[in-house]
Structure 1
Amino acid sequence: MIDGQPLACFQPFIDTATGRIAGVEALGRLRQADGRLTSVGPLFADPRTPAIALRRLDRQIRDNALSRLHEAPADWFLSLNMSPRWISRLRPEQALPSLKQLARHGVDAQRIVFEITELGGNSQRLAQVVARYRDAGARIAIDDFGAGHSQLDRVLALQPDILKLDMRLFQAAALGGPSSDVVKALAQMAEKTGCRIIAEGVETEAQLNYALECGSRYVQGYLFAKAQEAFFEADAFVQRFAALRQCYVRQKLDERSRLMEMRRQLAEWMATLQAWAGAGAPVSALPQPQAFPWLLRFYQCDRQGTQLTPNLEWRHGAWTADDRYVGHNWSWRPYFHHLLAEGREERRLILSDTYRDATSNQYCLTAGQFFDDGERLLLIDIDAAGL
């Protein structure tokens, strides 16, 4: 038995371009006899709750949200959770209950985002229903993106307008490490397919910064607001968001300043190494690199990218040679194309983007510069952790 009066509470989506509320997600609550609001989440997660009772509860909550949408600004969208398992049970010719609810409340489907919340259901039937939602003017979102391997198939099949990053994956990624790379790759994929990204579960300033780093168009989470029964003012978080965004910008400027200083130091070190290499001097003639704590190794390649010399690394107060990679060709690495395209004729120093080195498992950058009339390339691998 479901105890309490079903109703919708609304958690806002903050538009990162303006700081204003762009829309809200309807989240189910039950009002208890003492006035407390409790989440319906445990009921939907409990396999003992009858499916027919859950469908009725879901429609009551959606009905309540739609009946109150006229109280919100006309340019807001409303995100409604949809279960693929229930959608799959609809007959091909059957009128869609959600679209009937929109019509009953006089809600324009263009204001609605149907959020596919699970991995279950028949994919073909789901795609057919989604096409009918889209024909009516609604947009489609996939929730918990990144949580399951079949999500990529679902993106290709449904071609959603919005992807909501899986909250647990996003929060772990904001701490750094391998999951950070995964989420950024997912965000880049979304951008290439024309999807907008929602970062869900933004609870700290660091998580907001990471959401902005991923290019999220909307953010949602306790850093700004929990779900509540009444609608927020559209500009309720503009000042707070502007202040947080400014902190993020200052942080990026600081990073850029450190990078520029490292470029200056690199140019100095590169000139020293090129003079050493051009003179054919022994390793013992190399200067000590105490001023360059980020140095991992340096080596030379020919103009085709084949390594000519051992890696030279500063270890325990001495230069150490590692000749395992002599003869390896690095022309397939993205930074090498960049060097050829921009650095060969001008002989200027080129710095790669940050990447994870497969050998050392470190985050690195590679600096390169041609010398010896463009016949040789000096490469310096840099520890990016300090950046």
Structure 2
Amino acid sequence: MIDAQALGLPQIESAFQPVLSLAHGAAVGYEALLRAKHGGMPCSPDEAFALVRRAGRYGEYERACTLHHVRRFMRFADEDSALFLNLHPDVLADPIHGPALADDLLESGVTPGRVVIEVLEARQDTPQALVDAVDRLRGYGFLIALDDFGAGLTNLGRVWDLRPDVVKLDRELICKAVSSYRNARSLLRLVDLLHDIGTFIVVEGIETEEQARLSRDCDADFVQGYYFGRPTIEVDAGVPLTAVPMLDLDAQLMDARKLRRVGDLDELAPYRRAFGQFRDAWCRGEGIERAARHFLECEWALRVFVLDDTGRQVGENIESDRHDPWRRATFPLLARSAGANWSKRTYFRDALVRPGETIVSEPYMSSSSKNLCVTLSVLVQVGGQGFVLGADILFEGLCRTLA
């Protein structure tokens, strides 16, 4: 192992930032971060690694940093704390330094199950070598994390290939998610998808209370960021993180607005009333255009339609003429809706099993105009036959009232 200072390479120091479990209000572990100096002056991790790469000592320097982090961590950590170590995929996949790094860690005295190997977001020209390296580390008992998911190369394909224990979401995702109800819902769906794959989720870059609340509301497992704790060289793991207002977070979450179910939104009340008028008028025998006039007068109403009890559409859509600027070019065939089969749509299936009840769908992409929409639907009986009435609301417009 190299002596960084003896070779004129950047001096190594370690800082640690807590990674917190939201359910427990305590640190599940700490991420080790390089605090380097060169020529007596602080330099960023990027600058330090650029220097050692030019010197041809990147792999050795990465290993030196890793061992320094481990030794510092073992001075303060209790037996339950995990250590998150950032490692470049080039080093992990290197035929010399990859195995040597594993040996360094195994000989360091830290239990492998307490070490999370955090694969940095970076291109790797030999992806199978990276998969093999990760599998080898997992075989020793180390945990695997992917850093900066949603930025650059850390994508769903890499998750499938490496099967990590932890995925850390890039900070830009939470920054953008707090800006709108639609973005927040997308983040929730992303967390659900990654949970389905079988991984814990860390939301990185939490700097505000609003971001913290949204992370909790999205059911993220862990959080990390300045709001909960800044990186520090001297860590006292025995001191509770009393600056973190976890109890307040619990209480405020009850009033959180961002991620209420669409069906619970107060803003849908006028659409529900107008849809009820449409249902009653159509069941009395009024023509669909006249029956739907009150609904189509609502601000973000898009269209109404009728399906038979097999999901086949009866007649064409009756469209609002208020939202032409929102309509997007689509395949000409999709503009002809009569006879189309919508039996797999959730709004149709839910209406069948809850007859007479107004169903509110979750947002989905409408094939009629390629917009996100929310559909109100209800199963009614007319002349001894079942029909499902549907009415679409432009979700992208409705979101303007929810941001």
TM-score bracket, shorter-length normalisation: 0.7 to 0.9
Q: Is residue 158 of structure 2 the alignment partner of residue 154 of structure 1?
A: yes
Counterpart in 1 of 2:113?
Answer: 110
Counterpart in 2 of 1:9?
Answer: 15
**Which of residues 132, 136, 141 in structure 1 aligns to 2:136?**
132
Structure 1 SS opposite 2:193: helix
Question: Structure 1 length normalisation: TM-score?
Answer: 0.82
Q: Is residue 329 of structure 2 the alignment partner of residue 325 of structure 1?
A: no
Counterpart in 1 of 2:330?
Answer: none
Counterpart in 1 of 2:389?
Answer: 378
Does the Cα contact within 8 Å between 1:31 and 1:38 map onto a contact in 2?
Answer: yes
**Cα 1:8–1:164, aligned 2, differ >3 Å: closer, same or farther?**
same
Does the Cα contact within 8 Å between 2:11 and 2:37 map onto a contact in 1?
Answer: yes
Could you tell me how far 1:232 is from its partner in structure 2? 5.1
Counterpart-to-counterpart distance in 1, 2:360 and 2:190: 25
Does the Cα contact within 8 Å between 2:348 and 2:388 map onto a contact in 1?
Answer: no
**Cα 1:269–1:330, aligned 2, differ >3 Å: closer, same or farther?**
same
Does the Cα contact within 8 Å between 2:213 and 2:256 map onto a contact in 1?
Answer: no
**Cα 1:58–1:299, aligned 2, differ >3 Å: closer, same or farther?**
same
Q: Is residue 251 of structure 2 the alignment partner of residue 251 of structure 1?
A: no
Unaligned residue ranges in structure 2 (runs of 5+): 1-6, 323-334
> Residue type of the partner of 2:132?
Q
- Give the 5 Å matches for 1:53-132: 54-70=58-74, 71-91=76-96, 95-104=99-108, 106-117=109-120, 118-132=122-136
Q: Is residue 373 of structure 2 the alignment partner of residue 369 of structure 1?
A: no
> Residue type of the partner of 1:26?
A
Number of aligned positions between the proteins = 376
Structure 1 SS opposite 2:12: strand
Counterpart-to-counterpart distance in 1, 2:341 and 2:204: 43
Q: Deviations over 1:359-383 (max 9, x none)?
A: 4454422111111255111112224
**Cα 1:255–1:358, aligned 2, differ >3 Å: closer, same or farther?**
same
**Which of residues 23, 29, 32 in structure 1 aligns to 2:35?**
29
Does the Cα contact within 8 Å between 2:148 and 2:154 map onto a contact in 1?
Answer: no
> Residue type of the partner of 2:373?
C
**Cα 1:284–1:266, aligned 2, differ >3 Å: closer, same or farther?**
closer
Could you tell me how far 1:16 is from its partner in structure 2? 1.3
Question: Structure 2 length normalisation: TM-score?
Answer: 0.79
Structure 2 SS opposite 1:275: helix
Could you tell me how far 1:29 is from its partner in structure 2? 0.6
Could you tell me how far 1:162 is from its partner in structure 2? 0.8
- Give the 5 Å matches for 1:96-245: 96-104=100-108, 106-117=109-120, 118-148=122-152, 151-176=155-180, 183-231=187-235, 233=237, 235-237=240-242, 239-245=244-250
Counterpart-to-counterpart distance in 2, 1:357 and 1:43: 50
Could you tell me how far 1:199 is from its partner in structure 2? 1.1
Counterpart-to-counterpart distance in 1, 2:47 and 2:181: 32
**Which of residues 41, 46, 51 in structure 2 aligns to 1:41?**
46
Could you tell me how far 1:130 is from its partner in structure 2? 2.0
Does the Cα contact within 8 Å between 1:19 and 1:235 map onto a contact in 2?
Answer: no
Could you tell me how far 1:160 is from its partner in structure 2? 1.1
Q: Deviations over 1:120-171 (max 9, x none)?
A: 1523332332223222221011112233467433323321111112333453
CA RMSD, Structure 1 to Structure 2 (Å): 3.6
> Residue type of the partner of 1:349?
T
Counterpart-to-counterpart distance in 2, 1:21 and 1:262: 39
**Cα 1:151–1:267, aligned 2, differ >3 Å: closer, same or farther?**
closer
- Give the 5 Å matches for 1:339-354: 339-340=351-352, 342-343=353-354, 346-354=355-363
Structure 1 SS opposite 2:13: strand
Q: Which moved more, 1:302-311 or 1:289-298?
A: 289-298
Could you tell me how far 1:8 is from its partner in structure 2? 0.9
Q: Deviations over 1:191-227 (max 9, x none)?
A: 1121001111222333334433443211111222221
**Cα 1:374–1:225, aligned 2, differ >3 Å: closer, same or farther?**
farther
**Cα 1:249–1:363, aligned 2, differ >3 Å: closer, same or farther?**
farther
Does the Cα contact within 8 Å between 2:29 and 2:83 map onto a contact in 1?
Answer: yes
**Cα 1:132–1:377, aligned 2, differ >3 Å: closer, same or farther?**
same
Q: Is residue 355 of structure 2 the alignment partner of residue 334 of structure 1?
A: no
**Which of residues 274, 280, 284 in structure 2 aligns to 1:279?**
284
**Cα 1:86–1:253, aligned 2, differ >3 Å: closer, same or farther?**
closer
> Residue type of the partner of 2:176?
A
Structure 1 SS opposite 2:16: strand
Does the Cα contact within 8 Å between 1:364 and 1:383 map onto a contact in 2?
Answer: yes
Q: Is residue 305 of structure 2 the alignment partner of residue 296 of structure 1?
A: no
Could you tell me how far 1:252 is from its partner in structure 2? 4.2
Counterpart-to-counterpart distance in 1, 2:210 and 2:223: 13
